[in-house]
Structure 1
Amino acid sequence: MKIDLDKAKQEENLETMTFAMQKTLPLPRLSTNMIYYKRQLWLYNCGIYAGKLRESTFNIWIEGEAGRGAQEVGSRLRTYFLTNLLKSIEHVILWSDSCGGQNRNIKMVLIIKCVLEELKQLKSTRLRFLVSGHSFLQNDIDFGDVECVIKKQNKIFSPKDYMDIMNTCRKKRAITVLKMEKGGFLSTNKLEKKIVNRKKTANNEKIKEHQTSKKLNFF
Structure 2
Amino acid sequence: MESADGEHIVVCNHKNNPKLQCGQVGRDDILKPREVFYKNPNKVIQDGILASNIELDIPKRKRARKSDGKPHSLSAKYHVYISRQKVQICQKFVMAVYNVCQRRLNTICKKLQAGEEIIKEKRGGDRRAFKFVDKLDAVKSFISQLQGKESHYGRQKSRRIYISSEYNISILWQLYNKNSPEGLKVNYKYFSRVFSKYFNIGFGSPATDVCSYCVRTQTKISMSQSSSEKQKISTELKVHKFRATQFHKLMKTEVPNTVSYCFDLQQVQVLPKVPIQEAFYAQQLSIYFFCVTKLNCQEPIFYTWMEHQAGRGATETSSAIIDFLKRTEFPEDATKIRFFADGCGGQNKNSHVIHALMFWLHTSGEKIKEIEIIFPIRGHSYLPADRIFGRIEKILRSHSLIKTPDAYWELYTKVGEVRKLGSDWNLLDVKNMLQWLKKVNGIKSLSGEKWNNDPELAWLVPIFEEQREDGEIEANEECECNDMEEVNFI
Give the TM-score category using the shorter length.
0.7 to 0.9
More helix by share: 2
1:102 and 2:343 are equivalent in the alignment:
no
Q: For 1:5 and 1:195, how far apart are their aligned partners in 2? A: 31
Please list the CA deviations of residues 52-98 of structure 1 after superposition, one character each: whole Å capped at 9, or x if unmatched.
Answer: 78321111111111111111111111111110131523200101001
Aligned to 2:289: 45
* Superposition TM-score, scaled by structure 1 size: 0.85
Q: For 2:391 and 2:265, how far apart are their aligned partners in 1? A: 15
Provide closer, same or farther for how the CA distance between residues 115 and 143 of structure 1 changes in structure 2, counting only shifts above 3 A: same
5+ long unaligned stretches in structure 2 = 1-246, 439-443, 447-471
Q: Secondary structure at the match of 2:398?
A: coil
Please list the CA deviations of residues 36-59 of structure 1 after superposition, one character each: whole Å capped at 9, or x if unmatched.
Answer: 232211000100012378321111
Task: Choose which of 414, 421, 425 in structure 2 pairs with 1:180.
Answer: 421
Aligned to 2:376: 130
| Contact 1:127/1:216 (8 A) holds in 2 | yes
Q: How does 1:2-151 map to 2 (within 5 A)?
A: 2-8=248-254, 11=256, 13-51=257-295, 54-88=298-332, 89-120=334-365, 121-151=367-397
Q: For 1:137 and 1:191, how far apart are their aligned partners in 2? A: 29
Q: Secondary structure at the match of 1:16?
A: strand
Amino acid at match of 2:299: E
Amino acid at match of 1:60: T
Residues matched between the structures, number: 210
Q: Secondary structure at the match of 1:94?
A: strand
Q: Secondary structure at the match of 2:300?
A: strand
| Contact 2:296/2:384 (8 A) holds in 1 | no
Q: Secondary structure at the match of 2:287?
A: strand
Aligned to 1:216: 487
Higher relative contact order (CA 8 A, sep 6+): 1
Q: For 2:262 and 2:301, how far apart are their aligned partners in 1? A: 11
Q: Which has the larger radius of gyration?
A: 2
Provide closer, same or farther for how the CA distance between residues 106 and 202 of structure 1 changes in structure 2, counting only shifts above 3 A: closer
More strand by share: 1
Task: Choose which of 398, 402, 422 in structure 2 pairs with 1:156.
Answer: 402
Shift of 1:166: 1.4
* Superposition TM-score, scaled by structure 2 size: 0.40
5+ long unaligned stretches in structure 1 = 169-173
Amino acid at match of 2:433: L
RMSD, matched Cα: 2.8
Please list the CA deviations of residues 137-163 of structure 1 after superposition, one character each: whole Å capped at 9, or x if unmatched.
Answer: 000011111111212212101111111
Q: Secondary structure at the match of 2:338?
A: strand
Amino acid at match of 1:54: Q
| 86-95 or 38-47, larger mean C-alpha shift | 86-95
